[in-house]
Every structure is written in C-alpha cells, then in structure tokens.
A and B are shown apart, each in its own frame.
Chain A
Amino acid sequence: MPRTTPPTTTTGPVPPAGSSSDAPAGGPVSPPWEELVTSALLGTDRRPPGAAPGTGPDSAAAALLDAAALHTVRRRAGLLPAPAAPRPGPAPADPRPALPEAARSRLAQLLADRAAPGGSGGRRGTAPDLTELIPQWLATANLHGYRAPDAALPPLLDAARARTDLRPQALTFAGPRGLWLAGLNPDWKFALRGASGSALLPEVTDLDAVRRLWEEGLFAERVALLSAVRAHEAEAALALLATTWSTERAEDRLMFIDSLRTGLSGADEEFLEQALADRSRNVRATAAELLSALPGSALAHRMAARALSCVSPGLTGTGPSVAVEAPHECDAAMQRDGVVALPPSGRGERSWWLGQLVESSPLSVWPARFGGRGAPEIVTLPVADDWGEELHAAWCRAAVRQRDAEWARALLGTPSTPPSNGPGTASLAERSKLLAVLPATERADWVAGFIAAHGLSEAFQLLGVCPTPWAEPLGRSVVDALDIARDAGSYPWSFSGVMGLAERCLNPAEADRLEVLTTTPDEPADASPGANGYWSEAFQRLVSTLRLRAAMDRELIPAR
C-alpha cells in the first residue's frame, strides 16, 4: 500500500490510503469519511449522510455515529509507518573514560537539586546546598578527564544555560556529544557560540585554516580564534590582526585590541602606538591603557615625565613629604596618550587629570624621585594640600595595572591596620584588586591577618580573591571569627555570605575539627534569643557540606 501524508491528522502514524474512501468488502456500505465529517459538522437534520438507511432524524444521527465508529477503529487498526525524515549525523566519539558509579550518582543528585523549583527561601537548615557544589564537582571531574554520562547531558546543558559561570566547565565536561546535542535544541544555542565553542576552532598550528577562518569567519568565531592564537603564540596573533586591521569596523577593532591583553609584551608596542591615532576613541583609550601597563613603553615614559613634573618631594615642617602640583591643562598630546579631558560630574578636572597621569606612569620612577626610598616608605610620606587620597588611589590603580607586587604590598599595609587609616585605599573593591596582584599564599595570609584583627563583617570581598581551598591560617581564622561572632550573641544570617563561602572554600579536612562547634551550648543571658540553635544548625551545614565535598572528591578518584 502506498504511503501518503495523512489527510486528517497531523500527528500519529499515517493512516492507510484507502481508509478514507473504501468501504470494506462485504461490510455495511458507508459513505466516505469526509462526507461523514461534513454531515456531523452541519448536523444530520440539515445534511443527512448519503446513504442513511434509517427512518426518522434520530436514526440518521445514530447511523452516522455507527459509520464514524467503524471508520475510526478501522483507521486506527490499519495505521502504517510514516516515511522517515533525514537522520542527524551521529555524535562524535568521546574517548574519555566513564565516571565511577558513585560519582555518577552524585552528579545526578547535584543536577536534580538544580532542576527542582526553589525552596521556600528563608531558613537554610542543616543540609548542604547542593547546587552550589556543581562548579567544584565539574572542575574536579574535568581535572580527571571523565566523559559525561549520556543521560546527564540535558540537565547539564540546562544548568549551563541558566548560569553563565558554569558554562566553560560544563561544556568541557559535556564534550563532543554535548555539543552535538546542543545543535539539535535551540534552547542550548549558547553552547555553539563563539568563546565557549572553542571545540569548533581549527588547530592554531594549522596556519591555512587559521587564515581562512580569520578572513571568512563570523565575528564571534574570529574573536575566539584570535584569543586562541594569542594564547598559543602572542606574536602570531599580532601578525594575524595586522593583516586586516585597517578594514575592521570600530567595534570589532575594540574587541580585537582588547584580546591583546593576554601575553602583552614590548613586541606589541609599535602596533599599540599606531592605534593611539585610531579613528575610534574607545580603541585609542584601550591602546593607551595597554601601553601604560608596559613600563618600558614610550607612552609610559611620556606619562612619567608629565607625572614627575606634578609630584615632587617637599618638606612639611621638619620631615620629608610629597608636594603635588596638579596639571593646569590637558593638551592635545596628553589626549593623544589616552588622557580623558572631561571629568565625570562632581570631580575637579585637575585632580582627574592628575589621577590619569599617575596611574599610567611606571611605578619604578618614584623611588628615584624620592631619594631612593622604597615603596613602603613612599606611601607613608605625608602628602601636602590634601592630595593624598587622590595620589594613593592612582598608585593603587597603577599597581593593579602593572601587577606590581611590591607596591601592592606597600599600599595594602599591614592587615591589622584599620582600613580607614591604611596607606592606600579604604575601598574593599580596590583592596581585593590589590590582593589579586600578590602571590597566592601571601594573599591568604594577609586576609587571615585582616580577619583576625577586624572580624568578618568586611571580609567577604577579600575572601573572594583567595585561592581555594583556603590554606592555613586563613581557614582557621575564618572559623575562629565565626566562633567569636557566635559567642558575641549575634545571629548567623548576618554572616551568611561568609558562611556560604566557607562551605565551598574551606579545606574539607577541617570537618572533624569543626564538629565541636555543632553542639548547642547553653545560651548566655545577653545573647539574641534562639541564636545558639541557629548557629549550631549553620555549623552542622558547614560540616556536612565539607564532608560531602570530601566524598565528592574521593568518588572522582579513578579506580586504579
């Protein structure tokens, strides 16, 4: 029997072609299906079906129903397979080993938690927050190089869709089959897009392929390609960029020049110096910023000359000090070097210009300017005429930009100094940027000292830049500070941010030591009512989360 498209239904298998018109041989004669439908729609009183044998209006309707029932069952019983649509290509093979059984279960549990609707909010209880552990699980699984279980791919892609911070790890874990699957579902388009779709880029050593994609690719592909080449061989990326630079659109040029941030070196100076004359103001500003991060560049020297003319050693009373004479104008040469002439509202233009000059000057010029003093001494010199805050803030920005650990250390000062009296800046955001310049262990030590001296209320941002799991003495000082906060009788939700961080960042080996804190001691008279119970609950959650993280890591260790 020939296969046809169904005349009446759009879903379901295809009815046999004859069903709509043929009466079965020997069976009761019944009118064609289309005629039955028309009669039924209009009503048998108005339009009796063709060969209604009955007498009276009721039996005409009954006869129609009889015939329709026969048709319906016959059509359903005689369905035929539909023609097949073109098949999708098979998913590429993924040679990575499968997850150990226990880890697979754990992943299912973590993803199931994410998929379920949010809880009541409010109280967090003693159980770990599983969704927050997904990033750590993915990172460890990728470290061991496991293949994602097939059935976990849809919830994994859904998780990555909802949380951009999960995407790189989730897509690595999902692998080629994940990308294949994402290609079939418009909801998962993000997986195929530029930066994260690096699996689709050619090998950076394949020069022809790189050149072809650079010339013919879409914008996102080209940005991804440039970053990949830059990460592999910095100069090759510069050469690639130079081939088409003059013909790129302004917004594209901005993205491309920004990708030179990776692997920035003196070799880029010539190109960047030319870009200072770019038609686009944003491109010029980015070029100037990049050049100022190269202390040996000509731009840095020009900026240093300007800054040195503004900041000089002076004498206040008996001791040495810093004298500041902010620039009086912003000339064309300064503007060409990236100084923005118009200050944001509420700021004086002279201090605005000064800040830009100092932050773009190499920090190495200052010790010579101040009689061979090192950074720690220079930042403690008194500054004349209330310019101190402006000058120190600019030095902070310079230390971050030039990744100068010595200056960052000097500007942070000792951790026990109260933030408002510190040498550099009181802003926690600026301080965490400075911290990021320091080596990892030093960062953790400094934050540990800060917490020991000032408690947790301002530590959240600083903790965010510390490497995980927290090294000692940082972990201990966080736990001690939490313990002190409990003894002080406050409620644990004042520290929920730090608590959450601790759950994710404390070394899992600390769990046993923390166990003692999970008990509920007698409440001191002046404590907030019920606080102890909540604290014990919060510590229980902390301990069980740490245990869970340790179990997660154990489960992911390959069998042999």
Chain B
Amino acid sequence: MLLTDGGEPLGAAAPAARWTVEQVLALAPDDASRKAGNKLGSAGPWSDTGGDGSGAVWGLCRGSGSKPYRTVVDTTGPAYKCSCPSRKFPCKHALGLLLLLASGGPAVPAGDPPGWADEWLTGRRARARAKEEVPGGGPADPEAARRRAERRAERIGGGAQELEQRLTDLLRGGLAAAEQSGYGLWEETAARMVDAQAPGLAGRVRELGAIPASGPGWPVRLLEECALLHLLDTAWLGIDRLPQPLAATVRTRVGLTAAAEGPPVRDHWLVLAQYDTPEGKIVTRRVWLYGRESGRIALLLSFGAAGRSPALALPVGVTLDAGVTHFPGSGQLRAELGEQFGPPVPTGPPPPGVTVGGAIAAYGRALGDDPWLESWPVTLRDVIPVPSADGWQLVDAQGDDALPVAAAALSRPALWKLVALSGGGPVTVFGECGHRGFDPLAAWSPGREGGREGRGGATSADPSSRNRPDAVVPAAETVPLI
C-alpha cells in the first residue's frame, strides 16, 4: 500500500484524510449533535475501528442497546453511513468517528474494511462512478418534456400577471395600508404563486410580508422589494425579448431549475464556508467553494426537508480535487459537485483578496447581470474590524474605506472570533458583500502561528520528533465564521 503511492510523502498513505477537530465540529448539523458527537470523540465507546488508503474510516460504537452501531465514513465523498436511527446528518457517531481520527494516535489503525463496511463503500463508489458515466441521460420523451415545460411556463405567466395586479393594487391603495393588512395577505399570494409553480416568486412574496414589521424605514424597503418583484414579473412576461444570459437569470429567479451545463471545471476547490438557512419547512445549505487554478467561486446548494439535515456536508478549509459544473444564470455562481479525484486535502491558501472599494464595485458589476442579487461573494484582503456607532465595520488597512458588517452577522458569536483573529491588525476575510453590508463567513489570520511553527518544524533535525508524520504546517488555515 505504501509503495503504490509513488512520489507521495509517507504521511499521505496514512489511513484516511485527516481533518482537524474544528473542521469536524463545523460539520455537525446543529449544536446538540455537535455536543453529542464531541462526547463520542474519544476511544471509550469505540471498537474495531480502522481506516484504509482510499479515504474510508469505520468503527463500531457502543450505544445504549446491546448491538453497537456500525459507522462508516467515506472522506472522499464525503459520505456517511451509520446503522443508528438518527435523522441527523452526519449523525453523532459519524462525527465522533471523525473526531477520533482527527485526534490522531493509534485509535484508528490502518486496515481493510470489514464486510459490512466494504459492502456500503463499494456500492457507493460504484454508484458514484455510474452517475459520472451517464450524465443525465436526457428525458425519455423530449416532445412530452417540451409540452410540460410549455404548460408550466403558461402557468407561471398567469401567476406573474396575478402578482402584477396585486402589486399594482397595493401601490394604488398605498403601502401604509399594507401595514394593517398584515402577513395573511402575503401568505395567500405566496400560496397562489406556489400553485402557479413559481417558487421563486412565492419566496419573494413571503419575504415582503415580513418587511412591515422590520422596524423603522420599512416603507422604503417595502417599496424597493415590491419594485424588484415587479421587475421580475415584467421580465418574465417579456422573457422572449431578453438576451439569453439574462433570460436564464430570470428563469432561475422565478424558480425554474435548469440543469447544470457545460464541461465540468476540474480544479482544487477550497471549501470556504458552509451554513444552513431555514426557508419555510426546508433547510437550505449553502457551501462556498473557491477554485485555486480557475479563480472561480462556486456555490453548492443542498436541501433538507422536514427535520432532516441536507445531505451535502463538506468540512470548511479542506481542498477537494474535483470537477464542478456551473448552472446558467445569476452570475453563474451556483454549481454542482461532480467527480472527486482522491481524498480531500486538509488545507488550502485563501483566495486573493480585493480592497473594500473593489468588493463594493464587484457587487455593483454583478448587479448588471442580475439586478435581483442581494450580495456577491468576495474576499477582502488586509481589512481591520473596527467598532462603529451602530455595529462593526471592516476597514482597509491602507486607507479609510469602510464596509459595514451586515446586521445579520452582528448578532453571531463568530463575529468575535473575527475580532480576536485580527487583534486590531489586518486579516483576510471571505464573505457576502451586498447592499445590506458585508456578511463575513470565513477568515484567515495573518499567519503568525503558522509561520512560526513552520520554521520550527523545518529546522528540527529529527523528523520523528514531530508528533504526527503528516503534520504539514498549514499554509493558511481557514477559520469558519458561521
């Protein structure tokens, strides 16, 4: 097994890609499972653990029942499998197993997977390969599909017209009246949009309902959002006259899902951030990726319905050697993760950053392609978090330009992590920059710790004195801020 790795350093042949404790903890779908997984992150309850060179880890975890749970993790997916009945994903046993792996030492020896683990692993990998080889396959009956699409477009058109009428009525009667009519009116309209198969419109309508209760300045915000919704309506009704990319954006905004198209971009993708937002009964998970060679940013979406966590879970800070296919429309951010080549690498350097002015300009440019864009992903280089009258700002280290931190981020404890990392000095921050301000999602410290330890490791005469053979000093470690 060691020999087949050829030029790879010995450490790379260790049982499986080893993530850091922070990365594993960030995978937890919620606080409760983070705590529960944390408890299982020591050797106590585990037996028959092991890992192999292909990135698989497995183990038996003793629970309250007589039979231990069988837990397998394929770190190349990553994908998780456990015999426990939990609907959390990944479950606490998978988290515990990964923590055990992260803490190093002899707890997870190298070996061949036992039958029960092997069965799932080979099955999963075979399915993944099969999916790669048959890309979509296309609908069985293109003619029927076309008719279905036409019927749906008609229905959405009807919905858009109805919504347009509602908006006109609202403006004729005045927004002041909307404050009294309350949430119910919007809920009903949103339901009509769901009937019209336009979930994008429905979502926007539902958000309108919350604005009158959102504090001072609500009429301005309500007018803005009504106007943008009107813009979307009219864009859909006249979609035939729009240029192709804009038409694709409008289709996405209205809620039509197009298939990812074009050749996949193979790159080293750094996982920048992963976070969940509840949207109605569905939880949407967003994962931001940055391609080191292509310089592109990609957004992976994953959905979880009714109490289930979304299936996609990537640890922040790892780099995946993978193919990514972008969706058309909306600045081509949204993408789909394709085939992965080898297990993820635990670190990766941050994207090159821009100044505050550059970040705002990037958002402005992106609005040209998609006027409904709330924010745009940017990396700020050398900014200092500064407390201001009504919250926090990120200020250019060289210069006086400031970008306010979005209100949503002010209440998150992770904001303090950013301040702590900075210590009053410049840091690199990735986040979403929009008209509400900047929402920080990940940060890189100025490399103080990494630099010092790096030199120490390099000069140490005896490599065996380092406690872990694969303890490559992180060039830059991504610190999640959400």
Inter-chain contacts of A559 with B (CB < 8 A): 456, 460, 465-467
Does chain A have a CB within 8 A of B25?
yes
Interface residues of B in 336-365 (CB under 8 A from A): 356-357, 360, 363-364
Q: Which residue in chain B gives the minimum CB-CB distance to A81?
A: B401
Given contacts A36-B223, A76-B364, A126-B44, contact A180 B103 (CB under 8 A): no
Which secondary structure dominates chain A's binding surface?
helix
Is the pair A101, B467 in contact by a Cβ cutoff of 8 Å? yes
- Chain B, range 412-449, C-beta contacts under 8 Å to A: 413, 416-417, 419-421, 423-425, 434-437, 445, 449
Interface mask (B222-251 → A, CB under 8 Å = 1, otherwise 0): 111011101100000000000000000000
A10 to B390, CA, bound (A): 8
Whether the pair B25, A84 counts as a contact (CB closer than 8 A) is: no
CB distance from B223 to the nearest CB of A (A): 5
Rounded to whole angstroms, the CA-CA distance of A437 and B363 in the bound complex is 70
A50 at the interface (CB under 8 A from B): no
* Contact call A82/B404, Cβ cutoff below 8 A: yes
Most-contacted residue by chain B among A41, A46, A90 (CB, 10 A): A41
The answer on a CB contact under 8 Å between B386 and A87 is: yes
CA distance A278 to B33 in the complex (A): 60
Q: Are B360 and A116 in contact (CB under 8 A)?
A: no
A8 to B216, CA, bound (A): 10
Cβ contact within 8 Å between A85 and B387: yes
CB distance from A304 to the nearest CB of B (A): 58
- Which residues 379-405 of B have a CB within 8 angstroms of A? 384, 386-391, 393, 395-396, 400-404
What is the distance, in angstroms, from A308's C-beta to the closest C-beta of chain B?
Answer: 61
Interface contact B423-A43, CB-CB below 8 Å: no
Please report the C-alpha to C-alpha distance between residue A64 and residue B167 in the assembled complex, in whole angstroms: 11
Say yes or no for B5: interface residue by CB 8 A criterion.
Answer: no
Q: In the complex, what's the smallest C-beta–C-beta distance from A62 to chain B, in angstroms?
A: 6
Contacts of A68 in B (CB 8 A): 223-224, 226-227, 230
Q: Are B39 and A130 in contact (CB under 8 A)?
A: yes
Give the nearest-CB partner of B357 in chain A: A81
* Residues in A neighbouring B396, C-beta threshold 8 A: 84
A286 touches B (CB below 8 Å)? no
B43: CB under 8 A from chain A? Answer: yes
CB distance from A83 to the nearest CB of B (A): 6
Q: Within 8 Å CB of A128, what residues of B?
A: 39, 42, 44
- Partner among A40, A75, A547 whose Cβ is within 8 Å of the Cβ of B43: A547
Listed by A's residue number, 10 A-B pairs whose Cβ atoms lie within 8 Å are A36-B223, A68-B226, A71-B227, A84-B395, A87-B424, A89-B424, A90-B425, A108-B22, A130-B38, A151-B417
Interface size on B, residues (CB 8 A): 96
Q: Is the CB of B356 within 8 A of A81?
A: yes
* Cα–Cα distance between A115 and B31 once the two chains are bound (Å): 8
Q: Is the CB of B168 within 8 A of A58?
A: yes
Check A126 against B62 for contact (C-beta < 8 Å). Answer: yes
The verdict on A306 contacting chain B, using a C-beta distance below 8 Å, is no
Which range holds the interface residue count of chain A? 35 or more
B231 to chain A, nearest CB (A): 4
Determine whether the beta carbon of A12 is less than 8 Å from that of B39: no
Closest 7 CB pairs of A and B: A43-B174, A544-B44, A116-B35, A81-B401, A90-B424, A68-B227, A91-B423
Q: Does A541 contact B (CB under 8 A)?
A: yes
Given A150-B445, A540-B44, residue A73 in contact with residue B371 (CB < 8 A): yes
- Whether A181 touches B419, Cβ cut-off 8 Å, given contacts A109-B99, A559-B466, is yes
* A184 CB contacts on chain B under 8 angstroms: 387, 419
* Contact status B404-A13, CB under 8 Å: yes
Known contacts A11-B404, A43-B173; can you find 4 more A-B pairs with CB under 8 A?
A: A73-B367, A84-B400, A127-B40, A127-B44
Say whether, besides A73-B371, A83-B402, A113 and B416 are in contact (CB < 8 Å): no
Contact of B127 with A by CB under 8 A: no
Q: Does B171 contact A (CB under 8 A)?
A: yes
Is A185 located at the chain interface by the 8 A CB criterion? Answer: yes
**A154: which B residues are within 8 A, CB to CB?**
413, 416-417, 420
A151 to B420, Cβ gap below 8 A?
Answer: yes
Q: B126 to chain A: which residues have CB within 8 Å?
A: none
For B387, list chain A residues within 8 Å (CB).
Answer: 85, 88, 184
Name the residue of chain A whose CB is nearest to the CB of B164.
Answer: A62
Enumerate chain B residues within 8 angstroms of A13, measured Cβ to Cβ: 360, 403-404, 435, 437
Provided the pairs A65-B167, A73-B371, A108-B25 are in contact, do residues A560 and B460 lie with their beta carbons within 8 angstroms? yes
- Asked if residues B38 and A112 are in contact (CB atoms below 8 Å), the reply is yes
Give me the interface of B with A, judged by CB distance under 8 Å: 20-22, 25, 31-32, 34-36, 38-45, 62, 64, 99, 102-105, 164, 167-169, 171-177, 217, 219-220, 222-224, 226-228, 230-231, 356-357, 360, 363-364, 367-368, 371, 384, 386-391, 393, 395-396, 400-404, 406-407, 413, 416-417, 419-421, 423-425, 434-437, 445, 449, 452-453, 456, 460, 465-468, 471, 479
| Given A10-B217, A108-B25, A547-B43: A37 and B223 interface contact (C-beta under 8 Å) | yes
Task: Indicate the member of A184, A540, A547 with the most B CB atoms within 10 Å.
Answer: A184
Q: Are B31 and A117 in contact (CB-based, < 8 A)?
A: yes
* Chain B residues in 8 Å Cβ range of A91: 423-425
A98 and B452 contact, CB distance less than 8 A = yes
Determine how close the nearest CB of chain A comes to the CB of B306; give it in whole angstroms: 22
Chain B residue nearest to A188 (CB atoms) is B416
B452 touches A543 (CB 8 A): no
- Digitize A59-77: 1 where CB-to-B-CB distance is under 8 Å, 0 elsewhere: 0111011101101110111
B36 x A119 contact (CB < 8 A): yes
A37:B32 contact, CB within 8 angstroms: no
A116 and B168 contact, CB distance less than 8 A:
no
| A413-B476 Cα distance, complex, nearest whole Å | 63
Q: Are A85 and B402 in contact (CB under 8 A)?
A: yes
Q: Which residues of B contact A84 (CB under 8 A)?
A: 386, 393, 395-396, 400-402
Q: Is the CB of A40 within 8 A of B356?
A: no
A72→B164 CA distance, assembly (Å): 18
Instruction: List B contacts of A43 (CB < 8 A).
Output: 171-177
For residue A38, give the distance in angstroms from its CB to the closest CB of chain B: 9
CB atoms of B436 and A81 under 8 A apart: no
CA distance A231 to B400 in the complex (A): 48
In the complex, which residues of chain B have a beta carbon less than 8 angstroms from the beta carbon of A560? 460, 465
Q: Do residues B34 and A116 form an inter-chain contact, with CB atoms below 8 A?
A: yes
Residues of the B chain whose Cβ atoms lie less than 8 Å from the Cβ of A71:
227
User: Assuming A46-B174, A88-B387, is B364 touching A548 (CB within 8 A)?
Assistant: no
